[in-house]
């Protein structure tokens, strides 16, 4: 739990006693590589914080192709936020890319946590602000950059993703086919 405590410390200040209480609202979930932890059409029951490993959120388009919309590595959160907060069926799947160790919290536990520890409201607000800002930037990059520029930008900004995540998933996230990503990579090597 030191990982989560260190993460919280970047945003808020809580004592060790407060942290002990905060962490009691969470459960630990361990997953295997490629394990589906939420499927499209299911109620989004949990919000996931990655202690170790990597998750992805994706949907299957009308052509039957998986389209990855988000990744989460250590110290990142992942959920279908809209479905989670409304306790509705999700339009996404969430899957482990690697064996993962997660902290999970359901909506009821989160509400109790926020009642008991109002400082966590500030924490979650700050997390959502960062996530929203990142999403805004990504949208702008999609419109302004060529596909090659977008890949170069992504690989420069997140080199650990390029090393860790299978290329077909990187292609899915960037909106490319795996073959097109291979062409871009070959062109950049030459």
Residues 61 and 120 in one domain: yes
Residues 19 and 95 in one domain: yes
Residues 24 and 105 in one domain: yes
User: Do 113 and 105 form a contact (C-beta atoms < 8 A)?
Assistant: yes
Q: Encode pLDDT of 10-52 as tens digits.
A: 999 999 999 999 999 999 999 999 999 999 999 999 999 999 9
Q: Which residues pair with 95 in a beta bridge?
A: 36, 56
Least confident range from 4-18, 30-44, 74-88, 156-170: namely 156-170
Burial class (CB in 10 A: 0-12, 13-18, 19+), 132: exposed
Confidence of residue 187 (pLDDT cuts 50, 70, 90): confident
Q: Look at the chain and report how many structural domains it folds into.
A: 2
Residues 113 and 150 in one domain: no
Strand ranges in 39-131 using DSSP code E only, listed in sequence order: 46-52, 55-60, 66-72, 77-78, 93-96, 100-106
Q: Encode pLDDT of 119-134 as tens digits.
A: 999 999 999 999 999 9
- The residue segments making up the domain with residue 187 are 145-190
Angstrom CA distances, 18 to 28, 105, 118, 126, 177, stand at: 19, 17, 11, 19, 47
Residues 139 and 171 in one domain: no
> For residue 62, what is the DSSP state?
T
């Amino acid at each position: 739990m030191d990982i989560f405590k260190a993460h919280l410390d970047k945003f808020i200040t809580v004592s060790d006693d407060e942290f002990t209480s905060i962490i009691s609202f969470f459960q630990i979930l361990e997953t295997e590589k490629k394990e589906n932890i939420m499927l499209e059409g299911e109620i989004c029951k949990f919000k996931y914080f990655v202690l170790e490993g990597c998750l992805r959120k994706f949907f299957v388009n009308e052509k039957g192709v998986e389209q990855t919309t988000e990744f989460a590595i250590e110290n990142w959160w992942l959920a279908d936020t809209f479905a989670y907060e409304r306790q509705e069926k999700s339009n996404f799947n969430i899957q482990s890319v690697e064996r993962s160790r997660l902290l999970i919290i359901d909506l009821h536990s989160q509400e109790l946590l926020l009642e008991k520890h109002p400082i966590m409201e500030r924490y979650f607000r700050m997390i959502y602000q960062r996530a929203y800002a990142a999403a805004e930037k990504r949208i702008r990059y999609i419109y302004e950059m060529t596909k090659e520029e977008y890949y170069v930008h992504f690989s420069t900004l997140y080199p650990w993703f390029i090393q860790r995540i299978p290329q077909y998933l990187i292609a899915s996230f960037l909106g490319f086919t795996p073959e097109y990503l291979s062409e871009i990579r070959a062109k950049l090597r030459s």
